[in-house]
Structure 1
Amino acid sequence: MIAAGAVLRAVAGGLVVILVAACTAPAAPRSEASAAASTHCSKPQGRLPAQTPTTINVIEQAYFCILGNYYSGATMDARTLLTAGFVALARELNLNGRDVSVATMPALTGDREADWTAFETAYDKVTAQVPTLRDKLAVVTLEAMVAALDDNHARWVHGGGGQPPNYYDGDGYGLGLQASVDGIQLNGSPDAALPPLFVTTVEGGSAQAAGVRPGDVIEAINGSAPFIDQKSTPAIAALYPQYPEAGPVGLRLFRQSTGQRWTVTLRPGVYERDLAALEGVTSRLLDNDVAYVRLRGFGPDAADRVFKAISRLRGGRTLAGVVLDVRGNGGGSTPEAIRLISAFVHDQVTAYLCTVDGKCEELRTDDSVKLINLPLTVLTDRSCASACEHFSSAVKDLSIGKLIGARTAGQISGPAEPFQLSNNTMLSFPARHHLGPKRETLDRIGVPPDYYLPLTPKDAATGRDAALAEALTLLHK
């Protein structure tokens, strides 16, 4: 699974956050065949053809696809989807200065098909009066319907409306960021973040050229405070623009070690990346007897790469244990997470996948994986999401090892399943929800650490890693 981001790399700007005069025209005609086809969605087969415009037919298809396949589709009140869609449509009309008198939400009764017919009739009346906005209205309507699921593994993947004025496709500002008092990072959930907002890494680019350093606290973004009364503000969004938008961003910075305050303007641009930092698995020997392995994602062969790293470090010496660093791990493959768990315990349930009526499938360890037979400590943070949380919850619940650092992201609603829509865009969402080994809900809650040691601005500035130090202490007891 991947977190929706799971550790999210805002490709929009390459920003690592470790942290959308009235005239009338007839509505497009809909054939009976297209109307029938629109209520079905299918699993994608191979590479998708080029996308075509989003239409009311596509919105209808997505609506019934969700109701027929989403985890709680059978029991949910479908009016929430239609209401969210019409709210977005009305807002877009207003933003474009093209509001029309017929843009009135129809009465909904709870009958899914009758409500759709009423919604479609109202939608067609609106788009007939603003044909130049038809494509944009369709996109925002469908985006809002998917967002109404309020599910971190539900998304609609589409090409949008072309390149915006601030189009930029490159490596970004060169910053790694965190907002933390309790270790919460800006991983797509800024509403959950706490101050201060500070720099964790400087990778290059404009940030490096401006002399920004790890530990520098960001007091203002484009003149606005990132937090007011301990609550995040919309200003933070400028630091992780949606792909492919990124523009200059002004920061007021504070360096605690010197008391210096100053302002910089960072501009997105391509810069040379440290290839080692992009490796999915890196490792080194610590204290001559501890295998430290950093795992940045549960991609293909992730578990085997971890096993090989431990085996290499184990050669010719007796190890006191393993430190597995999954901070910033946005998730990936569920089977890879299970294989990694299976190297430390056998014959156990690692998680459950459950339907809305409570029928659950056990996800069990793969006992063909050879046991490592070493003590384990795991470093976690608020960017450990999805499959990373599957792994972390199993470590904790099955008493495989200790979690050190900060609570995980709480972005593990369930494995997303893809569905192809008729315009060759992709809709994905969970058909079942994830529960931990003790049948506990992890989604929106996360997995708490056994030892709470989040990164602080001072730690970032000095290079101190309190979580890693605690892990080494535990392994040497």
Structure 2
Amino acid sequence: MKVRFSALAAGLVVALGYSLLGGSGPLGATAASAGSPAPCGPASDGPAPPATATTLTTLRQAYECIFARYYAGSILDDRTLLTAAFAAFTQELQSRGLDRAAATLPRLSGHRDRDWNAFATVYARVLATLPDDAGLRQALAAATMQGMITALNDNHNAWIVQQTPPSVRLGLGIAVTTEGRATPNIRDASGPIYLRAVQPGSAADKAGLRPGDIIEAVNGVPLFVAGMLSPGVLGLLQPQSADETIRITIRRPATDTTMTVALHEEVLPIAQPPAVSARVLPGGIVYAVLPTFSPGVAAKVLGKIAELRQDDRIRGVVLDLRGNGGGRDEEVAKLLSALVHGKIYSWDCDVRDHCTPHRTDDSTPLLKMPVTLLTDGWCASACDAFSGAVRDLQLGKLVGARTAGMVSGMPSAYALDDNSVLLLTPLHHRSANGEIINGIGVAVDYPAPMTAADLSAGRDPALDKALALMTI
């Protein structure tokens, strides 16, 4: 099973019916439970059985799966995985007030099997000193697994446990972003931080908060001190319980007014991605919004453009990809194939740089119209890939802000013995000209980022610039 793992991981997890959390259940506490596991195999496309306990055997199965299936597995030093896994294990112990003297990383030699056995022996020894609590042991196993995955530093790898997709979520009803380079990982970005969206009907909406409002302080504490973002203050925007009151002080650029509102975490419906939309703007330009590259999107947007082209005044298309968190490679291929034929639009490469090309489908009718893309730091994964191809193949201009640069590669899903799934990228993405855009993003031809002041005042500098370019 292969999926294009959106850089905005939560969206994919919900879509696939997965959770990034481990399940519960008893966990074997002896090194013997870490006996040779069955090799990981491809996960099925159907519903998985209920999750069972994540044991040392499961952890070793994932460990071996990484070496066998991951892009860099053949050259990976096992100490990278085991050190990160043990660090996550001890951090979970400390967070629960259960640190143990025995929780000391053993000497690792770089020999994969010997190092695993040394790790497993200490892991089991520590578990033997802990309360017989299945939930605790599962949490420790989950932390250890996540530590291994995090050590790969690959934004399309994950460990997931299948569950029924939630129909509601807890939250404050706001989504935040930042000026400077707006990225999905807001902790890496510069300020000011402002509201990107306010969920209709939420307490935040009822309290009068609006997109573009700049967050000055949370519970009276400034978000920025001496120009540096305080992660602790930012974390206050994710309350731990519905009983917690969060006071948010905002400044509204459009009116230069300040207000403080008190919010509680509330149950909110899971917001569905906006539908594809298209309309004709003055000058005969079709403005089409693609919120994702989910299945069927390319056909939908091309169909809407075809309907609007019945008007003889249509002379170009603006594709708005801002906020597009990614989706399916086949949708990228279909949309690119409507822009150009006979081209390689990307490559999948192994760790030794042996690459396989992806080509356009020349049976797709061409649009034969100029195209301009609107991008931002939330255009990720498949959106990165599409934008990179448009730039490399000179299919249109890019306006707005650099894309997220979260496009390591398309992951494959592998089943583990606790009925969880490991997503690993066997190959890494290269853009049409062969360059890496993961971690870098796709630069725009014309910078026109959306600022808090623009959003607050209802302005759209990127769209204005695109229309100006297409009417020259």
Same fold (TM over 0.5): yes
Question: CA separation in 1, counterparts of 2:245 and 2:142?
Answer: 27
The equivalent position to 2:234 in structure 1, one of 220, 233, 236, is 236
* SS of 1:129 mapped into structure 2: coil
Q: Does 1:147 align with 2:143?
A: no
TM-score by structure 2 length? Answer: 0.89
Percentage of pairs with the same residue? 38
Note closer, same or farther for the CA distance 1:448–1:273 as it changes in structure 2 (3 Å cut). Answer: same
Partner residue of 1:464 out of 434, 438, 459: 459
Partner of 2:6: 3
Aligned with 2:347: secondary structure?
strand
Find the partner of 1:267 among 260, 264, 267.
264
The normalised TM-score by structure 1 is 0.88
**In structure 2, what is the equivalent of residue 360 of structure 1?**
355
Do 1:7 and 1:384's aligned partners in 2 also have CA atoms closer than 8 Å? no
Shift of 1:191: 2.8
Could you tell me whether the CA contact under 8 Å between 1:248 and 1:266 is conserved in 2? yes
Relative distance call for 1:225 and 1:429 in structure 2 (3 A) is farther
Aligned partners of 2:198 and 2:205 also within 8 Å? yes
Give the conservation status (yes or no) of the 8 Å contact 2:384–2:442: yes
Matched-pair contact (CA < 8 Å) for 1:178–1:197: yes
Aligned partners of 2:162, 2:262: CA distance in 1, in Å? 30
In 2, the alpha carbon distance for the partners of 1:435 and 1:232 equals 33
Note if 1:197 corresponds to 2:179: no
Q: Does 1:338 align with 2:337?
A: no
Counterparts in 2 of 1:241 and 1:110: CA distance versus 1, 3 Å: farther
State the 1:241 CA deviation: 7.4
Within 5 A, what are the aligned runs for 1:70-89? 70-89=70-89
In structure 2, the residue corresponding to 1:316 is in which secondary structure?
Answer: coil
Residue 18 of structure 2 corresponds to which residue in structure 1?
A: none
**What is the CA–CA distance in structure 2 between the aligned matches of 1:240 and 1:420, rounded to whole Å?**
32
Q: Given that residues 330 and 387 in structure 1 are in contact (C-alpha distance below 8 angstroms), is that contact kept between their aligned partners in structure 2?
A: yes
d(CA) in 1 for partners of 2:186 and 2:12? 14
1:466 is matched by which residue type in structure 2? P
Indicate if the aligned counterparts of 1:332 and 1:386 stay in contact, CA closer than 8 A: yes
| RMSD (CA atoms) | 2.7
C-alpha displacement at 1:439, in angstroms? Answer: 0.9
**What is the CA distance between 1:418 and its match in structure 2?**
0.6
How is 1:80-159 mapped onto 2 (pairs within 5 angstroms)?
80-130=80-130, 131-132=132-133, 133-158=136-161
- What is residue 16 of structure 1 aligned with on the other side? none
Partner of 1:27: 29
2:54 aligns to what?
A: 54
User: Counterparts of 1:246 and 1:326 in 2: how far apart (Å)?
Assistant: 38
Deviation at 1:255, TM superposition (A): 2.0
Contact 2:31 2:120 in 1 (8 A): no
Structure 1 residue corresponding to 2:386, chosen from 354, 375, 391: 391
Distance 1:229-1:364 versus aligned 2 partners, 3 A rule: farther
> How many pairs align?
451
Could you tell me which residue of structure 2 aligns to residue 17 of structure 1?
A: none
Q: Which residue identity is paired with 1:156?
A: W
Aligned partner of residue 170 in structure 1, secondary structure: strand
| Deviation of the 1:271 alpha carbon | 5.8
Kindly provide the amino acid, as one letter, of the partner of residue 90 in structure 1: T
Structure 2 residue 169 is the aligned partner of structure 1 residue 170: yes
Matches within 5 A, 1:212-361: 212-234=209-231, 235-239=233-237, 248-270=245-267, 278-287=273-282, 289-361=284-356
| 2:50 partner SS | coil
Distance 2:243 2:75 in 1: 40
Q: Distance in 2 between matches of 1:158 and 1:233?
A: 32
The separation in 2 between residues aligned to 1:232 and 1:181, in whole angstroms, is 13
Structure 1 partner of 2:446: 451
Shift of 1:168: 11
Q: What is the CA-CA distance between 1:83 and the residue it aligns to?
A: 0.5
Residues 209-251 of structure 1 show CA distances to partners (whole Å, capped at 9, x for unaligned) of: 1111222110123444333344433232444679x99965331
Structure 1 position 313, deviation (Å): 1.0
SS state of the match for residue 84, structure 1? helix
Give, as a single letter, the amino acid of the residue that structure 1 aligns with 2:357: E
Distance 1:139 1:211 in 2: 40
